[in-house]
Structures are given as C-alpha cells and as structure tokens.
C-alpha cells in the first residue's frame, strides 16, 4: 500500500527562508501568523492528510461513487467521516473572512493544505477545494444578502459548492452555452438545461450543495457576452438560512472515468430550478473567472501533489528493491544485489521529479502570496504588480505543473518496473488521477493560448516586462557571488531564450495568428522552465544563508544545492529546444489539408 508524508519541513523552509513570509506581516490576517503558528497549522494539516485522507485513497479509487435510483449519490466508505473531520478542523473556512464564518487567515496558509490533501487523496480533496472556489466567487461578486445566506455554511462545510460550465456541446467554447434562465415574478430566475462533467455535483457529504451555474438569460446576446452566473442551491434556502424545499436540480448519472473515482463527476439536470443572479446580467464569465482562477491554481497544485506522492513512494521503493550491481562495483556486497537507487538511470528519474517538486512548491506558494497581496494590501502599486504576476503565472502553473505532474507520476511508476503497473502498489492510480489535471479547468492547450493571446499582450505587455525586470534584478543581486554562479549563469541563458521567444512572438504573431497558436504550448513550457529556474536561484541563495546560520541544517541544505545544480544542468537546457521549435512558426504545421492527414 502506498504511503504519504506531508512535506511540512519543505513548505516551512520555502515560506520562512525562501519567500520570507514575514515580510508580509503588515497585511490583514498575517500579523498573528508567526513562524511557530505556521508550523503548528501545517503540522495539523499534514497529520489529517496522512492519517485520515491517505488511508482512504486506494479504497475510494476501488469502490468509487454510487448513484441510487432516486439520483442520490453515495461517496466511498469513510469519505463522510473524513469530510466531517476536514470541515470540523476549519480547513475550508481558513482563508474566509471572520464575518462570514471563516478564520480570516492568509490564503497562503491554505495552499499547503490543498497540496497535502490532493497528494493524500485527490478525489476527496476536490469536495472542499471546489467549495473554497465557489466561496471565493460568491464573496467577490455576490450581494451582501447572498454572502450572508450562503457563505458561513459553506465555510463551515455544512454546504459544499460546485462550478457548472460544461454542456454536451459546450466545453472550451463557452459561447456555445444554451442553459436558459427565465426571469420569475419574484425577481429570481428559472434555470433549465443540462450540465455535464460536474465535479462533486451530487454527494452525501453535506446538507446542501450550492451550484454556481452559467446560463443565458432569455433574450441575451449570443456568444460569451450573453452569459450570466447564478446560484442554484440543491435545497432552497429560507430567508433565515434554514433549509426549505428541494430545488429542481438533480443528478442524471455519474460518469465512469479513468481516475479520481472517489469524486462524483455528474450530469446535472436543471428543470426550471430556482436560480439567483450573481452580479450583473451578462457579466457571468467575469464573476466565474474568480472561481476559475482559484480552481486553476488548485489544479496546478494537484499536478504537484501527484508528483510528490508518487515520488515519495518511488524513492522508498528504490532504496529497498535489489536488482543488479552498481556500475562501479557492488555497493552492498553482503546482499545478492544492490538497491536500484545505485543506478544512474533510476536516479535520473527520481532527481527529475525531486527537482521539479521542490521548486514547483515554491511557485505555488509564491502565487498564493500574490493572491493575498491582491486581496489584502493597502498599497495600490503592490496590488497591481501582484495581480499582473498572478495573471501571467496562472496559466503557466496550471499547464506546466499538471503536464510535469503527470510525466512525473509516470516516471515514478517506471521506478517500480512491472510492479508499477500492478494495482496493489498504488502507482497506476497516481498516473490515472494525475491525468485529468491536464484536461479540466481549461485544457492545457487553452492555458497556453490564454498566456500568449491574452496575458502577454495585456496592458502593453506590462506583466511580462515586469517578469523580465524582476528576473534580471534577482540574477544581478546574486551575480557576483562565486558560489551562486552555477545557478545564475544557466538561468541567465534560459532567460535569454525566453526573451528571444517573446520578441519572436511580438514580431510574428500579430500579422499571423497561427504563429501564436503554434508557438503557445512551447512558450508556456519555456516560461515555466524559467520560472522554476528562478525559484531554484532563490532556493539556492536561501540554502547558503541557512547553512551559514544554522550549521545543523547543512546536510539538508546541501541536498537542496545539489538538486538545484541538477535542475540547471539537466532540465533547464530544454529552453533551447522550446525556442528552436517556436521560431519555426506555423507554416509546416498548418500546411496539411484535412484529407492529407
Ligand atoms: C473528470 C472531469 C471533471 C470535470 N469537472 C468539471 C466541473 O466541475 N465543472 C465544469 O464545468 N466542467 C468540468 N469538466 C469539464 C472540463 O472542464 C472540460 O472537459 C474541458 O474544459 C474541455 O472541454 P471539452 O471536454 O468539451 O473539450 P473540447 O472543448 O471539445 O476540446 C477538445 C480539444 O480541443 C482543444 N481545443 C478546443 N478549442 C480550441 C481552440 N480554440 N484552440 C486550440 N485548441 C482547442 C482542447 O484543448 C482539447 O484538447 C470536467 C471534466 C472531467 C473529465
């Protein structure tokens, strides 16, 4: 059976030493969160994930969700109790303002919990994760009355949330959406239509489910300009917050799917269900984007999480499995063979995963800090800079962390040889679970288009220019330190590749949009590799300082420095390949007529 240990020490190092979380103590909710408090919160988070969620991962996968004839959905055995423990621990409401029943703590502290929970049990973690996303949209765009009515119960986990975008004919292209909203005499709307693939659409974990549903008000313009967002509760809520009648929404079926079997992926039928408009009519996508951006970061974390849990198990296996001898001669002559960790190729796989995980974790925490700055800083310039960074990095994190998360789950499975293919070891589940993160919440190709088509040109390229400026300053600040050269020089070169690719796009994409489309995926990965490298530069600098300050940490920090070096030597050169592909343009790719394929 696979095991999981939450990487609390690594998160603490990143927060305290690398990102210097204490710099933000002036922000609302940060003042009381001392390093001791953070350590305590993360230790509790880790304990719940290791002891309660992880043991349900394999059984949840094997047993899946069941839909009864009346449309009720039962989650796998143990999920109800686990959800009660998760909600009861205040984890859903952790970043929610106190006036809405939360703890008002930084979102940055809820991010490690998302990682640990997704690593321990990704299917389970989606129930609270979607609730947090729905809460964020509601708190940003809901009316005071809507917030009062729904938010506290959701923060408590008595009610959960969902996001309903997808329809049979409408996936990526939301302009094709047909779910209808007809105004009612009482000021509400009557919602009719079918949504498919709705995660956590129906289940037995909570008293009520608050669906956030995109629909088109009768007579609204066609396309994305005519879409509005509605709250559609499974059970209607009375003015005093008590539960009323069952609403006209039901689960028609649950999907049989490749992974995340413990999460109910539902076809949801809306048959004249009562809905309540959030925000302005026809501005629904704008409101839903809050949830989508939050969810994209959450999905990026799922990629990292599957990579981490798969790595931990592969590493343990590589230390125990005896096969062959080291190329340099037996390492363990008393045994019949050496552990497979002695083989360079096994190390290649493990090091590639490790070098990704530790920097990717830093990037998710940095993004969470930016999100806190956006929502809590009194300084308008700081808010704008953080918003620009977050906007630029969200598609990169979603696309790159989930692509590499899946690749890494496969690599970790490979470490097990044939045993990785056998269910009882649990590695094939990590592969199956990791796969969806590349697809939902905007398929990764769409993330790449969002990056190149929207995020790069926005505000005259302000975000990417700030990225280059920050990166240049970081590298310059460490450039004259001899010990930092193995990290600074390759990152500088990779940054040069990114600059060339950005310039090529500026010169070649405007007149010929297919050039942008053809370059976008490689550009997203190129930017992702550079962002990981910059994080490794920060980690390396922090590791040198920590080693000098706390000699007892030397071995741990040396491991960081070796891993940073590995990233620079063996993973970062990929930026050259990406650039070479980008500058070939779209002509060859687009030249085959459909009947020539
Ligand atoms: C397990 C699961 C859970 C899900 N949970 C939810 C949920 O909770 N709520 C929800 O609303 N939806 C959910 N989804 C739906 C998911 O978000 C969509 O499947 C996804 O957005 C892609 O839409 P599609 O499947 O219709 O693919 P399509 O839009 O048909 O895309 C097919 C392929 O074409 C590519 N493509 C499409 N348009 C373009 C373009 N303009 N340029 C370049 N490439 C393009 C895509 O990248 C993709 O590779 C879930 C799906 C699954 C499988």
Q: Which atom of ligand 1 is nearest to the CA of 445?
A: 47
Q: Give the closest residue (by CA) to ligand 1 atom 30.
A: 171
Q: Give the closest residue (by CA) to ligand 1 atom 32.
A: 172
Q: Each residue of 492-514: pLDDT tens digit?
A: 999 999 999 999 999 999 889 99
Cβ(15)–Cβ(21) under 8 Å? Answer: yes
Question: Which of 169, 172, 194, when mutated, tests ligand 1's pocket best, judged by the most ligand atoms within 8 Å of its CB?
Answer: 172
Q: Which atom of ligand 1 is nearest to the CA of 263?
A: 1
Q: Give the closest residue (by CA) to ligand 1 atom 48.
A: 443
Cα of 464 from ligand 1 centre, angstroms:
27
Cα of 40 from ligand 1 centre, angstroms:
39
Cβ(250)–Cβ(194) under 8 Å? Answer: no
pLDDT band at 294 (very low <50, low <70, confident <90, very high): confident
pLDDT over 90 at 191, yes or no:
yes
Q: Mean pLDDT, to the nearest integer, of 406-428?
A: 97
Question: Which of 176, 193, 196, 197, when mutated, tests ligand 1's pocket best, judged by the most ligand atoms within 8 Å of its CB?
Answer: 197
Cβ(93)–Cβ(103) under 8 Å? Answer: yes
Q: Mean pLDDT, to the nearest integer, of 570-581?
A: 98
Q: What is the pLDDT of residue 480?
A: 93
Place of tokens 């929502």: 375
Q: Chain-centre distance of CA 366, in angstroms?
A: 13
Residue 75 contacts by C-beta under 8 Å, 6 or more apart in sequence?
A: 60, 65, 83, 127, 203, 204, 205, 262, 264
Q: Which atom of ligand 1 is nearest to the CA of 257?
A: 1
Continuous segment of H or E residues that includes residue 45: helix 35-48
Mean pLDDT (the chain, rounded): 96
pLDDT band at 289 (very low <50, low <70, confident <90, very high): confident
Share of the chain above pLDDT 70, in %: 100
pLDDT band at 391 (very low <50, low <70, confident <90, very high): very high
Cα of 257 from ligand 1 centre, angstroms:
15
Q: Which atom of ligand 1 is nearest to the CA of 444?
A: 47
Q: What is the pLDDT of residue 32?
A: 86
Residues with CB under 6 A from ligand 1: 163-166, 171-172, 197-199, 257, 265, 436, 439-443, 445-446, 449
Cα of 422 from ligand 1 centre, angstroms:
30
Q: Each residue of 48-88: pLDDT tens digit?
A: 999 999 999 999 999 999 999 999 999 999 999 999 999 99
Q: Each residue of 337-347: pLDDT tens digit?
A: 999 999 999 99
Cα of 537 from ligand 1 centre, angstroms:
35
pLDDT over 90 at 410, yes or no:
yes
Q: Give the closest residue (by CA) to ligand 1 atom 46.
A: 443
Q: Give the closest residue (by CA) to ligand 1 atom 17.
A: 440
Joined tokens for residue 83: 């959800």
pLDDT band at 288 (very low <50, low <70, confident <90, very high): confident
Q: Give the closest residue (by CA) to ligand 1 atom 31.
A: 172
Q: Give the closest residue (by CA) to ligand 1 atom 7.
A: 198
Cβ(393)–Cβ(471) under 8 Å? Answer: no
Dihedral Cα 22, 24, 29, 33, nearest 10 deg: 0
The catalytic residue positions are: 441
Question: Which of 443, 513, 514, 518, when mutated, tests ligand 1's pocket best, judged by the most ligand atoms within 8 Å of its CB?
Answer: 443
More confident residue, 165 or 31: 165
Q: Give the closest residue (by CA) to ligand 1 atom 4.
A: 197
Q: Which atom of ligand 1 is nearest to the CA of 165?
A: 11
Q: What is the pLDDT of residue 281?
A: 96
pLDDT band at 121 (very low <50, low <70, confident <90, very high): very high
Cα of 439 from ligand 1 centre, angstroms:
6
Cα of 266 from ligand 1 centre, angstroms:
15
Q: 107-141 and 79-88 are packed helices; what angle lies between their axes, rounded to 10 degrees?
A: 90
Q: How far is Cα 401 from Cα 409, in angstroms, rounded to an integer?
A: 12
pLDDT band at 239 (very low <50, low <70, confident <90, very high): very high
Q: Give the closest residue (by CA) to ligand 1 atom 24.
A: 171
Q: Which atom of ligand 1 is nearest to the CA of 172?
A: 29
Cα of 173 from ligand 1 centre, angstroms:
9
Q: Which atom of ligand 1 is nearest to the CA of 214?
A: 11
Cα of 73 from ligand 1 centre, angstroms:
24
Q: Does the predicted TM-score (pTM) go above 0.85?
A: yes
Place of tokens 């009947």: 595
Q: Each residue of 514-561: pLDDT tens digit?
A: 999 999 999 999 999 999 999 999 999 999 999 999 999 999 999 999
Q: Give the closest residue (by CA) to ligand 1 atom 6.
A: 198
Cβ(567)–Cβ(533) under 8 Å? Answer: yes
Cα of 530 from ligand 1 centre, angstroms:
27
Cα of 170 from ligand 1 centre, angstroms:
8
Question: Which of 61, 134, 163, 171, when mutated, tests ligand 1's pocket best, judged by the most ligand atoms within 8 Å of its CB?
Answer: 171
Q: Give the closest residue (by CA) to ligand 1 atom 52.
A: 197
Q: Which atom of ligand 1 is nearest to the CA of 200?
A: 8
Strand partners, 421: none
Q: Each residue of 301-316: pLDDT tens digit?
A: 999 999 999 999 999 9
Q: Which atom of ligand 1 is nearest to the CA of 170?
A: 26
pLDDT over 90 at 429, yes or no:
yes
Question: Which of 166, 169, 590, when mutated, tests ligand 1's pocket best, judged by the most ligand atoms within 8 Å of its CB?
Answer: 166
Half-sphere exposure of 489 (CA within 13 A, CB side): 9
Q: How far is Cα 520 from Cα 457, in angstroms, rounded to an integer?
A: 13
pLDDT over 90 at 290, yes or no:
no
pLDDT band at 98 (very low <50, low <70, confident <90, very high): very high
Of the candidates 128, 73, 78, the residue with the CA atom closest to the CA atom of residue 254: 73
| DSSP helix/strand/coil, 443 | coil
């Amino acid at each position: 059976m696979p095991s999981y240990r939450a990487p609390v020490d690594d998160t603490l190092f990143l927060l305290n030493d690398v990102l210097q979380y204490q710099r933000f103590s002036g922000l609302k909710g940060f003042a009381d969160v001392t390093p001791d408090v953070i350590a305590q919160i993360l230790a509790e988070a880790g304990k719940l994930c290791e002891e309660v969620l992880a043991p349900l991962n394999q059984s949840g996968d094997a047993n899946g969700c069941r839909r009864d004839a009346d449309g009720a959905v039962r989650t796998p055995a143990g999920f109800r109790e686990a959800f009660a423990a998760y909600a009861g621990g205040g984890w859903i409401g952790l970043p929610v303002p106190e006036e809405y029943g939360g703890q008002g703590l930084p979102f940055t502290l809820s991010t490690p919990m998302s990682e640990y929970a997704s690593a321990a049990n990704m299917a389970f973690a989606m129930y609270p994760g979607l609730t947090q996303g729905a809460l964020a949209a509601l708190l940003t765009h809901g009316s005071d009355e809507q917030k009062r009515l729904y938010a506290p119960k959701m923060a408590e986990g008595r009610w959960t949330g969902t996001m309903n975008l997808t329809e049979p004919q409408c996936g990526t292209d939301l302009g094709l959406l047909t779910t209808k909203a007809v105004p009612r005499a009482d000021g509400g709307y009557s919602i009719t239509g079918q949504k498919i693939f709705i995660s956590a659409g129906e289940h037995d974990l909570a008293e009520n489910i608050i669906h956030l549903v995109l629909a088109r008000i009768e007579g609204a313009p066609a396309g994305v300009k005519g879409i509005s967002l509605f709250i559609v509760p499974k059970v209607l809520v009375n003015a005093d917050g008590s539960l009323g009648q069952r609403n006209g929404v039901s689960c028609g079926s649950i999907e049989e799917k490749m992974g995340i079997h413990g999460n109910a992926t539902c076809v949801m039928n809306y048959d004249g269900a009562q809905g309540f408009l959030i925000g302005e009519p026809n501005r629904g996508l704008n409101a839903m984007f809050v949830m989508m951006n939050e969810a994209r970061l959450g999905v990026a974390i799922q990629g990292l999480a599957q990579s981490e849990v798969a790595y931990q198990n592969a590493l343990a296996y590589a230390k125990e499995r005896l096969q062959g001898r080291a190329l340099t001669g037996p390492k363990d002559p008393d045994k019949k063979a050496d552990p497979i960790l002695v083989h360079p190729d096994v190390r290649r796989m493990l090091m590639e995963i490790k070098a990704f995980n530790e920097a990717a974790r830093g990037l998710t925490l940095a993004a969470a800090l930016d999100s806190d700055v956006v929502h809590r800083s009194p300084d308008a310039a700081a808010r704008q800079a953080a918003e620009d960074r977050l906007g630029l990095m969200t598609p990169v994190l979603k696309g790159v962390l989930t692509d590499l998360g899946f690749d890494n789950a496969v690599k970790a499975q490979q470490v097990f040889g044939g045993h990785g293919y056998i269910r009882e070891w649990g590695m094939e589940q990590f592969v199956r679970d990791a796969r969806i993160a590349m697809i939902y919440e905007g398929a990764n190709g769409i993330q790449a288009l969002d990056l190149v088509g929207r995020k790069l040109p926005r505000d005259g390229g302000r975000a990417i220019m700030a990225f280059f400026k920050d990166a240049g300053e970081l590298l310059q600040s460490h450039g004259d330190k001899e010990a930092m050269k193995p990290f600074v020089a390759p990152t500088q070169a990779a940054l040069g590749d990114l600059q060339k690719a950005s310039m090529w796009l500026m010169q070649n994409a405007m007149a010929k949009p297919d050039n942008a489309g053809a370059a976008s995926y490689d550009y997203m990965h190129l930017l992702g590799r550079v962002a990981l490298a910059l994080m490794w530069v920060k980690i390396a600098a922090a590791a040198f300082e920590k080693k000098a300050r706390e000699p007892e940490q030397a071995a741990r920090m040396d491991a960081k420095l070796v891993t940073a070096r590995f990233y620079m030597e063996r993973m970062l050169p990929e930026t050259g390949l990406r650039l070479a592909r980008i500058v070939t343009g779209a002509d060859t790719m687009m030249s085959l007529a459909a009947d020539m394929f």
